[in-house]
Amino acid sequence: MNHQYLNELVKTVLSFKTKKELHDFFEGIFTPKELLEIPIRLQIVKMLKKGVPQQKIAQQLGTGIATVTRGSRELKMNRFKYI
């Protein structure tokens, strides 16, 4: 992964002053599919942190167990501590 590009993305996201500006940016940069998937990934992390079983998360959110498991692995790597 090119960290320069990721850093630029983070810098850009942090530069927005309003939710509308950020929302417009997301709608422009992400595909419709990504706009559906990325918020679900956030919900996966929140549910995992609450102790909801992976199978229940996958079923409730209508996503694959592999996606939930990936979130769980990232959580074990101490990511998402600010969520």
- Domain borders along the chain are 1-30, 32-83
| Residue 12 near residue 24 (C-beta atoms within 8 A) | no
Confidence band of 2 (pLDDT split at 50, 70, 90):
confident
- For the cut 80, the answer to whether the pLDDT of residue 34 exceeds it is yes
Strand residues in 6-80 grouped as ranges (E): none
Quote the CA–CA distance of 33 and 17 in Å, as a whole number.
25
pLDDT at residue number 1: 65
Q: Looking at residues 18-47, what average pLDDT do you find?
A: 96
Reported pTM: 0.84
